[in-house]
Amino acid sequence: MIKVGITGGIGSGKTMVCRIFQELGIPVFYADDEAKKILDKDTDVKKELKRLFGEDIYTKTGINKTRLASIIFNDSATLKQVNEIIHPKVREYFNKWSQEHSDFPYIIEEAAILFESGAFKDMDINIIVSAPEELKIQRIMERDKIDRQSVVDRMKNQMGEREKMKMADLVIVNDGNQMIIPQILEIHKKLKRKSTNG
């Protein structure tokens, strides 16, 4: 079984790409969704975050997302600290999940910080979904109903696309011009072949 990492900056369309792989019958582990669940439910993580940011970082229903976002999106050192608490837990969950899906030719982990977190080292192949910066900004403004500056601030906390491209094995271009499905089908074929041939 081949482990594939898929990443891309916010607004690149990596989740949409992963949904297409799922349609092809490939299991996808959404690391960011898993991290959100861990934030809300994992007792060790909750204890650590309360110690760092105070009891009010949690509400009755879970993490106080607005407060956490205002802390981490404006301070890369604190963001790194939070990632260091959550990331080992996500790896633990992914390893368990991958064992449960070991009969598939390949599996995918979708993660915004695949390279930043070091998770790419656990993968056999890493793919980046690439899109022009201006298009990414527009997509996020529409999706999250936020202003341009808020998007730009979020982007500052992510590794640049050029840097990620150097570390990736494959690129899927999602620029609104090139058709995305043929690119995915080509990669799907290659990965299935690679899995069969070892």
pLDDT value at residue 198: 64
For residue 156, CA distances in Å to 103, 133, 134, 164 come to 39, 12, 14, 14
Q: What integer pLDDT is reported at residue 158 of this predicted model?
A: 78
Q: Are 102 and 147 in contact (CB under 8 A)?
A: no
What's residue 73's pLDDT?
A: 74
Task: Tally the domains of the chain.
Answer: 1
Residue 107 lies in a domain: yes
Q: Which two tokens stand for residue 21?
A: 């792989």
Residue ranges making up the domain that contains 23: 2-192
Stretches in the chain below the pLDDT threshold 50:
none
Closest CA to 37 of 144, 29, 101: 29
Please tell me the predicted confidence (pLDDT) of residue 94: 96
Look at residue 69 in the predicted model and tell me its pLDDT: 85
Please give the pLDDT value at position 52.
93
In-domain check, residue 155: yes
User: The whole model's pTM is what?
Assistant: 0.87
Domain-embedded: residue 125 = yes
pLDDT in tens, 118-155: 999 999 999 999 999 999 999 999 998 999 988 888 88
Q: Is residue 149 part of a domain?
A: yes
Does residue 198 lie within any of the structural domains?
no
- Is residue 197, in this structure, part of any structural domain at all? no
Q: Bridge partners of 108?
A: 4, 28
The CATH number given to whatever domain includes residue 110 is 3.40.50.300
Residue 94 lies in a domain: yes
Q: What is the pLDDT of residue 197?
A: 81
